[in-house]
């Protein structure tokens, strides 16, 4: 009898565990993640499928979509992107105190990219290539090329590569604004390193903000252990996230096309074979596709690529307003009765919005004729313009619709275009991106090397050639664009603190007036 009771209790426990596992996988919140992958971490499961073929019509006689032409146009223009990154094992404070050297290891990553010009420009995700020492691109016809980075933008998770080739098949950028919910699209990429994979689905939603880019940028800008202790000794904590994370721009196209690890940077294509998005992330409880995926719209891709080619830096334009949803407490308190548009909760001083006489409590309905019904849609529309561009804003004030024109400004409040050459001229220095090997040797997570010096601000305060700038005013920098952005936040004659390290390990910092 006692054995039966024990056996019964055991069965109940097992059943309860199975129910709990099912409930978790069925109802737990999905985890949003990027799609690049390390091949060594992938596992494969074989499955048998019944062989079936479908005709051009359904059983009800309705015509089914034909993806063959779009697929043929896409597979040859989507490439496999392989990266090699040399990394070191994590170090503890004890390692720094006793001088233990970290172990080195190599990480290989896989992703996808889209050829957007016959002469070898390729767009992919920033997180696919970030920090890599080597990038290798493989075409669908098995040709391989070494790729170099033209530029990258962590705030949109886009990067532009270039290979030395000509006459390449490429995809034309389509109009992502014209996409409609329910429209058929195909996803082309290299999931699990399976090249030239095509899947189909529909547009599930537009202008999705899932917070993944902002979250990732914030994590990556946390201070390194050696920087933490150095700032402690100087009485400056310096912890927290980079203010740049507020510039992160997400306005994803959501689809149900099957996408998995390795699809990052691949193409989202409409039925006409036009590139309408760059696949970036999935929402999943298991780490694999479960019905929800996200792509960067072609409108933002076009803007970022154009900026990187023309200026070497992405141009950030701002209207200068604080937003809230139309159904927010602030909007209801202000007496807003509309159900469409975006509520202006605050107009910043000296901003483009203030100069255009936009007021607190206004409701923005459209930017340059494109309707905006959420903060995300609003940011996407503004994000495709440059400082000094003029936009037409359709808004409602009280019960009256009106149109105003606003000239957009940069982060520092000017209307000037940021060029990498401008900051080099201002500081009297030429800058070089710090490679992953250099970071490892110096024991830093980020930095920009002073490659050459001319008479200017840096030489006047004693900076020597080879100095690696790691932080400006406590904000990590990784490029000349970052330096320009941070200096742009400083008022004229304001104080600039530049931290860094020399090749011999000497830590130094310099202070000068802008």
Catalytic residue (one of 127, 324, 410, 482): 127
For this structure, is 127 an active site residue?
A: yes
Helix (H) or strand (E) holding 397: strand 390-397
Spatial separation of the C-alpha atoms in residues 367 and 384, rounded to whole Å: 11
The Cβ of residue 348 has, within 10 Å, a number of other Cβ atoms equal to 15
| 157 noted as active-site residue | yes
CB 357 within 8 A of CB 402: no
What is the distance between the alpha carbons of residues 340 and 366, in angstroms, rounded to a whole number?
10
CB 449 within 8 A of CB 438: yes
Please give the radius of gyration of the chain, using alpha carbons only, rounded to the nearest integer: 26
Of 252, 287, 275, nearest to 113 by C-alpha is 275
Kindly name the residue from 264, 299, 351, 410 that is annotated as catalytic: 264
Sign of the four-CA dihedral 384, 386, 391, 396: positive
* Residue 70 backbone dihedrals phi, psi, to 5 degrees: -65, -40
CA atoms of 185 and 202, how far apart (whole Å): 6
- Phi-psi group of 221: left, alpha or beta (phi > 0 → left; psi -120 to 50 → alpha; rest → beta): alpha
The per-residue DSSP string of 133-196 comes to: SEEEEE-TTS-EEE-EEEEEETTTTEEEEE-S--S---PPB--GGG--TT-EEEEEE-GGG--S
Cα(324)–Cα(363) distance, rounded to whole angstroms? Answer: 10
Q: Is 141 a residue of the active site? A: no
Reference 318, options 376, 243, 379; nearest CA is 379
Question: Angle at which helices 375-383 and 298-311 pack, to 10 degrees?
Answer: 30
Backbone φ/ψ region at 302: left (φ over 0), alpha (ψ -120 to 50), beta: alpha
d(CA 283, CA 254): 10
| Catalytic option among 157, 307, 482, 499 | 157
Tokens (6 digits) for 439: 């970071």
Diameter over CA atoms, the chain: 94
Cβ 258 vs Cβ 289: under 8 Å: yes
Give the separation between CA 464 and CA 450, rounded to whole angstroms: 8
Which residues have a catalytic role annotated? 127, 157, 264
């Amino acid at each position: 009898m006692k054995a039966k009771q024990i056996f019964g209790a055991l069965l109940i426990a097992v059943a309860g565990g199975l129910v709990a596992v099912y409930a978790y996988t069925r109802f737990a919140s999905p985890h949003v993640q990027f799609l690049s992958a390390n091949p060594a971490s992938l596992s494969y499961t074989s499955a048998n499928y019944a062989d079936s073929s479908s005709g051009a019509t359904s059983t009800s006689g309705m015509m089914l979509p034909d993806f063959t032409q779009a697929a043929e146009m896409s597979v040859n223009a989507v490439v496999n992107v392989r990266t090699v990154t040399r990394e070191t094992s994590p170090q503890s404070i004890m390692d720094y105190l006793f001088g233990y050297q970290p172990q080195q290891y190599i990480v290989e990553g896989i992703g996808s990219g889209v050829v957007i010009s016959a002469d070898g420009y390729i767009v992919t995700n920033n997180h696919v290539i970030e920090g890599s020492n080597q990038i290798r691109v493989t075409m669908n016809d098995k040709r391989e090329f070494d790729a170099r980075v033209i530029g990258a933008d962590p705030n949109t998770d886009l990067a532009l590569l270039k290979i030395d080739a000509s006459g390449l098949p490429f995809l034309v950028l389509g109009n992502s604004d014209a996409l409609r919910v329910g429209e058929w699209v195909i996803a082309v990429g290299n999931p699990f390193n399976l090249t030239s994979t095509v899947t189909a689905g529909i547009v599930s939603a537009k202008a999705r903000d899932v917070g993944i880019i902002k979250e990732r940028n914030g994590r990556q800008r946390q201070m390194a252990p050696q920087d933490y202790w150095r700032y402690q000794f100087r009485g400056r904590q310096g912890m927290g996230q980079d203010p740049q994370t507020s510039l992160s721009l997400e306005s994803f196209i959501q689809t149900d096309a099957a996408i998995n690890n390795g699809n990052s940077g691949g193409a989202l294509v409409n039925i006409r074979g036009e590139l309408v998005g760059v696949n970036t992330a999935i929402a999943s409880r298991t780490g694999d596709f479960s019905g929800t995926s996200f792509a960067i719209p072609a409108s933002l891709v076009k803007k970022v690529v154009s900026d990187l080619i023309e200026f070497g830096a992405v141009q950030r334009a701002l209207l200068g307003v604080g937003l809230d949803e139309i159904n927010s407490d602030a909007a209801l308190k202000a007496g807003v009765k509309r159900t469409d548009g975006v509520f202006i909760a605050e107009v910043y001083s000296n901003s483009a919005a203030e100069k255009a006489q936009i007021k607190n409590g206004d409701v923005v309905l459209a930017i340059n004729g494109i309707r905006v019904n959420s903060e995300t849609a609003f940011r996407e529309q503004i994000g495709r313009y440059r400082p000094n561009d003029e936009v037409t804003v359709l808004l409602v004030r009280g019960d009256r619709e009106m149109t105003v024109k606003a000239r957009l400004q940069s982060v520092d409040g000017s209307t000037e275009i940021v060029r990498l050459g401008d900051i080099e001229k201002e500081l009297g220095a030429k800058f070089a991106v710090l490679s992953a090997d250099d970071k490892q040797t110096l024991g830093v997570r980020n930095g920009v090397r002073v490659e050459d010096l001319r008479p200017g601000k840096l030489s006047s305060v004693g900076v020597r050639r080879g100095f690696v700038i790691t932080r400006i005013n406590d904000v990590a920098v990784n490029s000349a664009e970052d330096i320009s952005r941070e200096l742009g936040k400083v008022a004229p004659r304001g104080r600039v603190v530049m931290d860094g390290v020399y090749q011999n390990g000497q830590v130094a910092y310099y202070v000068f007036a802008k």
